[in-house]
Every structure is written in C-alpha cells, then in structure tokens.
Amino acid sequence: METLLQQIVNGLVVGSVYALVALGYTMVYGILGLINFAHGEVVMVGALTALQTLLLLMGIAPDMAPLLKLAIAVLVAMPVCMILGFLMERLAYRKLRNAPRLAPLITAIGMSFLLQTLAMIIWGRNYHTFPQLISTDPMQPIPGVFITPVQVTIVIVSALVMAGLILLVTKTRLGRAMRATAENHRVAALMGVDTNAIIALTFVIGAALAAVAGVMFASNYGIAHYAMGFMPGLKAFTAAVLGGIGNLGGAMLGGIVLGLVEAVGAGYIETMTFGFLNSSYQDIFAFVILGIVLIFRPTGLLGERVSDRA
Amino acid sequence: MIKLLEARGVGKRFGGLTALSDVSLTINKGEVYGLIGPNGAGKTTFFNVLTGAYIPDDGEFVFNGTELPSGKPHLVVEQGIARTFQNIRLFGQMTALENVMAGHHIRTKAGVWGILTQNKHTREEERLTTERAYELLKYVGIERFAHTICKNLSYGDQRRLEIARALASEPQLLALDEPAAGMNATETSQLKVLIEQIRHDGVTVLLIEHDVKLVMGLCDRVAVLDFGKKIAEDVPAVVQKNEAVISAYLGGPKHAH
C-alpha cells in the first residue's frame, strides 16, 4: 500500500512536468498540424541555461538567497528559450507551412539533432550537477510516504502555470486569436488576425513552459546534460497523444496519467515479472501506452473523432 | 459623391485560366453596390483579391485614397474592409459571442505583457469588446444564442453571425458574398432589412448575390462580371435591360459553346 501511495506521489510530480512539456507539443500541433520534435531540446536548453546562470550567480554573489538565485535562473532561462522557439518557427518552419507534412516533420527532427549538437559544443558531453536549491529532504505527510519540498514546488508551479495558460487561451484576445487561427488560419487572417504573429506567439509560449519544465526536471534529479531533453520530449509527446493531440486539457490529463502509469508501473514491474525486469525498464510503459493509444484510440482520451475535423 | 473603393485594372490568373481581367470599378461611400454574374464569372475571386487572400497579377485597389496592401489580409481588415463567405466559415468550436469578439481583434491592442499583468487598459478593452459583441449579436438578432457553440446554430443564424463578426472589425466597407444563399423567402426578406439597416448606419456594402430580386431591390448600382470581365455597370433598372447582360445570363450567341 505504501509503495502504491509513494509511486502515486512520484507519478504526480513527474506527470506535471510531462504535462508542461506536452502543452508545448499540443499547442503547436493544434495551430499548425506540426509535431515539433525539437521541443524536448528546448527543455534541455532551459535547464542548461538556468544551470549556467546559477553558476555565474554563485561566482559573483555567493551570499544571495538560494531561492532568489533559482528565480533569477528561471527568469533568464525563459526568455532564452522563448527566443529559441521564435527563431525555430521563423527560420525552420515558416517556409514549410504549406509544404507536404513530411517536410516540416523531418525538419523538426533535424532541428532536434542540431540543438543537441550545439548544446554539446557549448556545455560539453559531461553530466553536470544541477544545484538543488530547494530542499530535497524528504517529508513524511503519511508514514512511509516521502515527498520532498522540491517535488511539492514542482506540482504547485505546474498547476499555476497551467491554470494561467487556460485563462490566457479562453479569456483573452490573444487566446481567441490563437483558437481562431487553430480552426482556420486563412479565415482568421481575413477576420483581422495577424496569423504569423499568433503562430510565433504559440511557439514562444510553448518554449516558456518548456524552460520552466527544464528547470524543474534538473532540480528534481540534480542533473543536467545536453541529451536530457530527448526522453522527456518523447514522453511528453506520448502524453499529448494520449490526451488527444491539439487539445490543451488533453495534454494536461495525458501528462498526469502517463506520469502515474509510469511510476506505479516502475514500482511493481519487478514483482510482476518475478524479478526479470527492474524499475530501470520504466520507459517501457510510456511507449506501450503510445502503441495502445495509436491502435485503439488514435484521437486520444479527450480528442474529437477524426470525422469531425474534416 | 465620395469615392470609397476603387479597383484599377485588377487581373488574376490561375495557370492558364483568367479569373479576372482588367476589372475597374468605383464604389462610393454610403451605397450598396452589387456585383453579379453567372457562376464562375469571377465574383468570389474579386472578393479574394480585394481582401488580400490572393495577390492580384495586375492592377491595384485604392481605398480611402491609399493603396491596399496585397497578400496581407489582416492589414486590409485594419484599413476597414470586412467580409463574409459564400460557404459559411465561422470558428465552429467557439461560441457565437467569441466569434464576434474574435472579429474585433484588429481593433484591440493588448499584448502579452498587458494580458499577463491584467492591467487596467487590458481589462477595459476586454470589457468593451464583450459589450460591443453583445450589441452586435443583438443588432443581427441572435443575442439569445450568445453562448451557443456556433456550429450548433441554424444555417440562417450562422449567416447572421458571420455578418456580426464582420461588423465587429468596425469596417467602412462590408463585403457580403452571397449572404442569401440557401435562405428561404422569409429569411431573405429579413436579411434585406438588415442590410438596409447596416447601410443606414453608415457602412458601405458590396454585395455578391444570385438572388436577382434582392440585388435589384437593394443595390444603388450594379456591376456585372462575365468570364472575369466587367460587361456592365449602372443602376439596376438599366443593367437589367442590358443586352450583354441578358445574353451572359441566358446564354446568347456570343457565348455559344
């Protein structure tokens, strides 16, 4: 029972990070029909930029309060990622907007490799220790179930960011313009929406969420390196598909569900396979889910039926 | 009379097909101007070139004395031209109210910063946009469906909603592409009242329409397109008697295949 509860807690934490990243995938897909496979690399750039900022701050102002340092690191990582998202759209994807779907997809994969390689050149191939500025001393709200302050922070910050995004999309002029562009960008333009600006904005917002997610990931595991975005990127993509790609609520639900399945699965995989597989095989669950969803419900948990989209 | 819109020698080709060829016309402020012609005459192409959806191959549009940007639809809307579509193109997943609010987009300015901080200006702008959207829904007579997802509205109401959404951009020229298509006689006569009201409220109307009765009853002047060329332009009573027009519609010897 304690194992189950513990794994649910872990699943919620990692799931809320997946959800943040999945939102970036789903927003871009919703508006352009493009799977931006380089989105995971934005997470990595966010984490490494934050790391660089932290190292710098520790050098010039060692007495600064740790939380303030972390806040500054996030506030540096976000605009860096936003600029990166903007440039990706402007330089790589915009020209391909009316090209056959395969072209931007392959470009996205190429962009992913490019960013990884650039990061490797800048930050090297080594694993870096990411300073854990929020305490990682486990608390025991329920006997036998541990949760660390950094994990609590991750869940709360993700929830706030997601609530903010929902308000932005449903209640503001930019959100309306985004939804209008997602439904039909030609008509949106004819109704006065600068669709190029709105598409750029979508990339920029997705990148900002990825930056936050990157810092969370690195803070939780205490590690950052140039390839760290790849696996969370794939998982978040799976989460977006699971929830119904193009659907914001779906990305959030998909992220949480995926996190839970993965954590609970990892907790029991050893027992289930009589010790044949251990918890380092937890990645299996995400991709088994991806397979199952694509076979039985390709539109995802909250996705509309395909026939409605024609 | 004050010129509002002037088309100067506008031409548009699709591959070997000439959809529009050297079309020139002038629309004056405050009039209802009809654009008619047989199917495939180039009426909708004219709309698409005018509103920036297509880039013309020849010629230009002058609106209020300045040349319209081509290929930048949102800037055309900003200049004061709004349109509806022959086959309804609403934002189907949004409510009627949100559709109209989206139509007001170009007249509002709040940026990311204003929205994140929800400053006074942003809140005031949003409040005015909402208020104005309700007024427009009332104006076209569908305020009771404000919160209905618009793909669930009836056909006639969707047509009205498109007009409300177009008016939300505060146009000087409202371009209606076959607004009466698929409407019954009652709906058409209600539409006629609405268009007259719009003109009365100071918006110039450019109307593409197949319903000859509606065009003749509503328009101050009419231009006739046939095979992409303007073959007549005058008050409805004169155009109706024009031989080229009659032969274009009924198929005279000139167009025998």
Cα nearest neighbour of B72 on chain A: A189
Residue ending a domain, choose from B152, B170, B188: B170
Q: What is the spatial distance between Cα A247 and Cα A254, in angstroms, rounded to a whole number?
A: 10
- Three-state secondary structure call for residue B17: strand
**Cβ <8 Å between B102 and A193:** yes
User: B70 Cβ partners below 8 Å, 6+ apart?
Assistant: B49, B52, B55, B56, B60, B61
- Separation in Å, CA B85 to CA A130, A215, A264, B208: 56, 47, 52, 10
Residues B166, B216 within the same domain? no
Residue ending a domain, choose from B170, B186, B216: B170
Residues B195, B166 within the same domain? no
In a domain, B152, yes or no: yes
In a domain, B85, yes or no: no
Domains of chain A plus CATH, in order, are: 2-126+138-309 (1.10.3470)
Interchain CB contacts (distance < 8 Å): A and B: 83
Instruction: Please give the pLDDT value at position A306.
Output: 47
Residues B37, B58 within the same domain? yes
Instruction: Please give the pLDDT value at position B256.
Output: 44
For the record, the structure tokens of B17 come out as 């097909």
Residues B183, B162 within the same domain? no
How many folded domains does chain B comprise? 2
pLDDT, tens digit, 9 for 90 and up, residues A62-96: 888 989 999 999 999 999 999 999 999 999 999 99
Q: Show residues of chain B in contact with A209, CB under 8 Å.
A: none
**Cβ <8 Å between B105 and A193:** yes
Q: Show residues of chain A in contact with B74, CB under 8 Å.
A: 189-190, 192-195
The domain spanning residue B231 has which CATH number? 3.40.50.300
Residues B130, B147 within the same domain? yes
Q: Show residues of chain A in contact with B122, CB under 8 Å.
A: 172
Q: What is the spatial distance between Cα A38 and Cα A234, in angstroms, rounded to a whole number?
A: 10
- Kindly report the pTM of this predicted structure: 0.91
Total Cβ atoms within 10 A of residue B253: 6
Comparing B37 with A303, the larger pLDDT belongs to B37
Please give the share of chain A, as a percent, with pLDDT higher than 70. Answer: 98
In a domain, B225, yes or no: yes
**Cβ <8 Å between B165 and A173:** no
Name the residue with tokens 């303007």.
B230
In a domain, B86, yes or no: no
Q: What is the spatial distance between Cα A223 and Cα A221, in angstroms, rounded to a whole number?
A: 5
Residues B47, B107 within the same domain? no
User: A260 Cβ partners below 8 Å, 6+ apart?
Assistant: A8, A11, A12, A15
In a domain, B66, yes or no: yes
Predicted confidence (pLDDT) at residue A307 exceeds the cutoff of 50: no
Predicted confidence (pLDDT) at residue A305 exceeds the cutoff of 70: no
Residues B34, B58 within the same domain? yes
pLDDT tens digits, chain B, 257 residues: what are they?
899 999 999 999 998 899 999 999 999 999 999 999 888 889 999 999 999 999 999 999 999 999 999 889 999 999 999 999 999 999 999 999 999 999 999 999 888 888 888 899 999 999 999 999 999 999 999 999 999 999 999 999 999 999 999 999 999 999 999 999 888 889 999 999 999 999 999 999 999 988 788 888 899 999 999 999 999 999 998 988 888 888 887 776 554 44
Q: Quick check: B108 contacting A, CB < 8 Å?
A: yes
pLDDT, tens digit, 9 for 90 and up, residues B116-126: 888 999 999 99
ipTM score here?
A: 0.91
**Cβ <8 Å between B106 and A192:** yes
Range of the domain at B97: 93-170
**Cβ <8 Å between A176 and B126:** no
Q: What is the spatial distance between Cα B199 and Cα A253, in angstroms, rounded to a whole number?
A: 50
Residues B64, B3 within the same domain? yes
Residues B68, B97 within the same domain? no
In a domain, B125, yes or no: yes
Residue ending a domain, choose from B170, B201, B222: B170
Residues B30, B43 within the same domain? yes
Contact between A93 and A21 under an 8 Å Cβ cutoff? The reply is no
- Residues of chain A whose C-beta is under 8 A from some C-beta in B? 168, 171-174, 176-177, 179-180, 183-184, 186-195, 201
pLDDT, tens digit, 9 for 90 and up, residues B196-240: 999 999 999 999 988 788 888 899 999 999 999 999 999 998 988
Instruction: Please give the pLDDT value at position A271.
Output: 84
In a domain, B2, yes or no: yes
B contact test, residue of A191, A195, A302, A304 with most B CBs within 10 A: A191
In a domain, B88, yes or no: no
Residues B152, B195 within the same domain? no
Residues B18, B56 within the same domain? yes
